Amino acid sequence: MSPQNAQTDHTAAISTRGVTRDFPAGQDVITVLHGIDLDIRAGELTFLVGESGSGKTTLISIMCGILWPTEGEVQVFGTDIYDLTDTALVEFRLANIGFIFQQYNLIPSIDAAANAAVPLIARGMAVEEARAQATEMLDALNIADQADKLPSQLSGGQQQRVAIARALVHEPRLVVCDEPTAALDAKSGRRVMDLLREVAVAEDRACIIVTHDNRIFDMADRILVLEDGRITHDGKDMPEEH
């Protein structure tokens, strides 16, 4: 597990070195990422900002182990995840990464508690126990009273909270959040960001939020701007041109 590369930052939760990704497009090959070198620290709310087509989805996919880079390596908490076998990588994700999808992707036919408990159930925990644990998490998100309802019976905000609960229920060390405020008005968006800051940010947990919602940029601890497959800005605040 010891990092081979001398340049690796040992304090970093995630570090990418020379991550390049090509996509075939007909006869041509489009390079979406151009050798990204990046270190994400734990305990911070990191924003990944970029226009559509800037490659931020590709980058985040690579960072959380669901898309193979064409070149380069990714270390998540000291593990070179693309060195793992397929199955080991899947299990690594299950153990270490929490996902909050933009569309939530809740399972429509199981209730809120069960949806929140999916990562625990996937680990093999008994359904009863997993639900109890998930209900506690829902309680922390103030929607314990909705635990027995199906996603279709919940409001959008409640569904999002269930999705957040699902991302956090197994206490992952990396939380990835895709456009959490895209569908919300400014006020709700800020409330969600407050909530995320409250429950997701922890001492030994990295939290990456993919967004291009400029209404919430002020809530970031760190903002990374991606343009045309390259990091063009890295700082506490957004550059002026945005």
Partner 1 sequence: MALLPRNVSFSRQVLPIIAVAGLLAAVAYIAFGLPDRELAEPAEKPAHASGALADAPRVAGSGVVEPSSEIVDVGSALSGLISDVRVQPGDRVGQGQVLFTVDDRAVRAQLRQAEAGIGEARAAIAEAQAAQRTAEQQLALYRSVEDAAAVSRAEVIQAEGAASAARTRLELAQARLAQAQAQAGTARTELGRLTVRAPIAGEILAVNIRKGEYVSTMGGQQQPFIQMGQTQPLHVRVDIDEDEAARVDLGAPAWVSPRGAAERQVEAAFVRAEPQVVPKRSLTNSAQERVDVRVLQVIYRLPETDGLFRVGQQIDAFIPARVSEPKRAEAASE
Partner 2 sequence: MIWIAIRMLTGDRTKFYGLLFGIAFSTLLITQQLTIFVNLIERGASGVYNVAEAEVWVMDPVSRTTDIAYAMPTTALDRVRGVPGVEWAVPHLRANAAVRTDTGDLEQVAIIGVDDATLIGLPKGMVEGSRAVLSRPDSVIIDDVGTTRMFPDQPTPVGEVLELNDQRAVIRGMADSIPSFTSTVVLYTRYSQALRYVPGTRNRLSFVLAGAADGVAAAELARRIEAQTGLRARTRDEFAGDGVDFIIENTGIPFNFGITVVLGFIVGVAIVGLTFSLFIRDNIRQFGALKAIGVTNGKIVRMVAAQAGMVGAVGYALGLLGTVAFIWVFGSDPTFKGFYIPWQIPLMSLVAVALILAITGFFALRNVLRTEPAAVFR
CA distance 7 to 19: 14
Measured from the CB atom, is 44 or 179 closer to partner 2? 179
Binding mask 58-97 for partner 1 (x = CB under 8 A): ----------------------------------------
CA distance 198 to 26: 46
Measured from the CB atom, is 4 or 87 closer to partner 2? 87
Measured from the CB atom, is 64 or 114 closer to partner 1? 114
Residues 2-61 that bind partner 2 (CB under 8 A): 57-58, 60-61
In one-letter notation, the amino acid at residue 43 is: G
Angle at 237 between CA 231 and CA 242, to 5 degrees: 70
Which does residue 103 bind out of partner 2, partner 1, none, counting CB within 5 to 8 angstroms by kind? partner 2
CA distance 84 to 129: 30
Measured from the CB atom, is 2 or 124 closer to partner 2? 124
β-strand partners of 202 = 205
Burial code of 170-201, b = ≥16 C-beta within 10 A, e = fewer? Answer: bebbbbbbbbbbeebeeeebbebbebbeebbb
Q: Give yes or no for residue 84 binding partner 2 (CB under 8 A).
A: no
Which does residue 140 bind out of partner 1, partner 2, none, counting CB within 5 to 8 angstroms by kind? none
The pair of three-digit structure tokens given for residue 203, joined into one six-digit string: 């001492």
Angle at 155 between CA 57 and CA 219, to 5 degrees: 50
Residues 105-124 that bind partner 2 (CB under 8 A): 105-110, 114, 118-119, 121-122
CA distance 185 to 96: 31
Give phi and psi for 163, each to the nearest 5: -65, -40
Report how many residues bind partner 1 under the rule CB under 8 A.
5
Q: Give yes or no for residue 205 binding partner 1 (CB under 8 A).
A: no
Among the listed residues 224, 237, 217, the one whose alpha carbon sits nearest the alpha carbon of residue 14: 224
Residues 118-137 that bind partner 1 (CB under 8 A): 127-128, 131
Measured from the CB atom, is 3 or 67 closer to partner 2? 67
Residues in touch with partner 2 (CB under 8 A): 57-58, 60-61, 64, 66-67, 87, 90-95, 97, 99, 101-103, 105-110, 114, 118-119, 121-122, 127, 166, 178, 210
